[in-house]
Structure 1
Amino acid sequence: MAGHGHHHAADRWRLAGALALIAGLLVAEVAVGIVAGSLALLADAGHMLTDAAALALALVAAGVAARPPGGRWTFGFRRVEILAALANGTTLALVGIWIVYAAVRRLVSPADVHGGLVLVLAGAGIAVNLAAAALLLRPSRESLNVRGAFLHVATDVAAFAGTAVAGALILLTGWDRFDPLASLAVAALIFWSSANLLRESSRILLDISPGEMPPEEVADAMLAVPDVVEVHDLHVWTVGSGFPSLSAHVLVRPEGDCHDARRALAEMLSQRFGLEHTTLQVEHARQQRSVGTELPLVRS
């Protein structure tokens, strides 16, 4: 439990640092976007507002998830992080829809854009978002909650890169439609990131087995353990990020030792699949009436 506490504390520190960086840049981006008349900057400012909200939500969720189990919360508050990831995926999609709408309007009725100001702030945006993304990169590999916040920031890196290209092209050609075209490219990236985040968080909330732990493969591995002859009522799911769980009813040969089988199963599941939280009901199988026949290896 101490390790989990340290993990959540490190996540909160990194999330707080990223939030401070994004909030500072957001204020500057709104001001310059209004002065420069850049939809790409204002659109990304809207995205960055959701970034700031996403980081704040992830920060709160990480704090709540660190609370120990108690009372009716027998698994603790781990699912709070997954709910935060789902919310972040939803806001990403909504921002993408708004950007597409605004970009289409600008393509139909283009406005003057000050390419120089756009280019300068885009460069600053790339630097700040890269710093924020670097803070979140490591914990995003282990926590879906942090990954949701990381995706918000990472898409901004690409958005600022597109904005910088648009600003440079406007300076070179004077064609203002490069700005909404860059916004459409940003929207496409946002939709892709949102779809991935929504899919992963929904899989956990629906208790679908993790992709790296197909139930059939897990059952076959359990049946390969000595004395195990049947595995049924097998359930594999994820409580929260980094917390896969398993429960199953296992039958062993009449002459086998249930305690030895349980220990062997727990060790195999931990080493091969990383399953540390397992609930196994182990019992002896009924003796076959036919003398000398082998008990069948079955799974249901």
Structure 2
Amino acid sequence: MGAGHDHQGAVSNAAHRHRGRLWAAFGLLTALMVVEAVAAFATGSLALLSDAGHMFTDVLGIGMALAAITATRRAAADPQRTFGLYRLEVLAALANAVLLCGVALYVLVEAVRRFGDAPQVLAGPMLVVAVAGLLANLVAFALLRPGAQESINLRGAYLEVLGDLLGSLGVIAAALLIALTGWWWADPVVAIAIGVFILPRTWRLGRAAVRILVQAAPDHLQVTAVHDRLAAVPGVAEVHDLHVWTLTSGMEVASAHLTMAPGAEVGTVLRAARVALHEDFRIDHATLQVEPGASEGACGSIEW
């Protein structure tokens, strides 16, 4: 016997709610990325080029988020995809992290090379484009912030825009230093700072995506606590084969076998167990198999 929920209706609701904001940020950052890339080659600025490269991952990341939302909604109608395509959102976030890491490493290597031969940089145009980049990132930051805590994919795009915002400030500082003092080293120094800023955030995003993909229990949830809470449900004699994992952003899932105490009523036990999971752990998607006491120990653990 079991109890569960239909997962299809909750497909990426957080990301779907903020789809309009994603499209707005996507269009704005795409336009600015082109401007920054052209200006970087025109001015010879590595800092501006690194910011444009980082913005490229912003655009690509938001584009993947939008594609994941669209694909997931369509997959909900396919009976063969019993969980829809929830994991597309997580895969997009992981790809985003890998791309960010690649950009950061390229910027660091190129910046070190420039210390041996710092080229001339046109500070005036560099400053103008950096200010435009700062304004665009502020708008994109405001657009993405509401959904950053609800969706791992939106969080990835949000972190990238945050990095770009700080990167734009760095490029502005470098342009001012070059214009006022002629200190050409400011350009590779700022480029290195942007690269160093990107890497730890990339690691955290990638780690979060991998934890979901390997179906590890969520960081904020102790599996032993879930076990003990289910074991405390009236009518439950024993809990085994308990699994808790994250399906996609904001959707924790659990499955467990509950051995019933003599005289316990199945419907009552199931309702109490589901209420306990919801109220104590915010787990709304659970599959619970209720077994009579005579079957205790009959279910083996997963072994391959």
TM-score normalised per structure 2? 0.89
Distance of aligned partners of 1:8 and 1:182 in 2 relative to their CA distance in 1, 3 Å threshold? closer
How far is 1:4 from its partner? 5.3
The 1-side partners of 2:93 and 2:250 are apart by 14
Structure 2 residue corresponding to 1:19, chosen from 12, 22, 26: 26
Q: Are positions 1:276 and 2:290 aligned together?
A: no
The 1-side partners of 2:237 and 2:166 are apart by 54
The 2-side partners of 1:5 and 1:163 are apart by 36
Structure 1 residue corresponding to 2:38, chosen from 31, 54, 62: 31
Contact 1:69 1:77 in 2 (8 A): no
Structure 1 residue corresponding to 2:83, chosen from 60, 69, 75: 75
Paired residue type of 1:140: A
Distance of aligned partners of 1:49 and 1:254 in 2 relative to their CA distance in 1, 3 Å threshold? same
Contact 1:248 1:280 in 2 (8 A): yes
- 3-state DSSP of counterpart to 2:115: helix
Q: Which residue of 1 aligns with 2:3?
A: none
The 1-side partners of 2:215 and 2:10 are apart by 25
Paired residue type of 2:148: S
Contact 1:258 1:284 in 2 (8 A): no
Runs of at least 4 residues off by over 6 Å: none
Contact 1:256 1:284 in 2 (8 A): no
How far is 1:5 from its partner? 7.7
Q: Are positions 1:61 and 2:68 aligned together?
A: yes
Q: Which residue of 1 aligns with 2:154?
A: 146
Q: Are positions 1:123 and 2:125 aligned together?
A: no
What is the percentage of aligned positions where both structures have the same residue? 39
Structure 1 residue corresponding to 2:57, chosen from 34, 37, 50: 50
For each residue in 1:149-168, what CA deviation from the matched residue of structure 2 results, as whole angstroms up to 9, or x when unmatched? Answer: 22221211111111111112
Contact 2:12 2:249 in 1 (8 A): no
- 3-state DSSP of counterpart to 2:18: helix
Q: Which residue of 1 aligns with 2:274?
A: 266
The 2-side partners of 1:6 and 1:199 are apart by 23
How far is 1:70 from its partner? 2.4
Distance of aligned partners of 1:8 and 1:159 in 2 relative to their CA distance in 1, 3 Å threshold? closer
Comparing 200-209 with 185-194, which one deviates more in the overlay?
185-194
The 1-side partners of 2:55 and 2:295 are apart by 66
The 2-side partners of 1:136 and 1:31 are apart by 26
How far is 1:31 from its partner? 2.4
Q: Which residue of 2 aligns with 1:10?
A: 17
How far is 1:65 from its partner? 1.7
Which runs of 5 or more structure 1 residues have no equivalent in the other structure? Answer: 289-300
TM-score normalised per structure 1? 0.90
Matches for 1:200-215 after TM superposition, within 5 Å: 200-215=208-223
| More contact order relative to length (CA 8 Å, sep ≥ 6) | 2
How far is 1:255 from its partner? 2.4
The 2-side partners of 1:240 and 1:96 are apart by 27
Distance of aligned partners of 1:234 and 1:114 in 2 relative to their CA distance in 1, 3 Å threshold? same
Distance of aligned partners of 1:225 and 1:6 in 2 relative to their CA distance in 1, 3 Å threshold? closer
How far is 1:3 from its partner? 6.9
Q: Which residue of 1 aligns with 2:301?
A: none
Structure 2 residue corresponding to 1:245, chosen from 231, 244, 253: 253
Q: Which residue of 2 aligns with 1:177?
A: 185
Structure 2 residue corresponding to 1:197, chosen from 199, 205, 218: 205
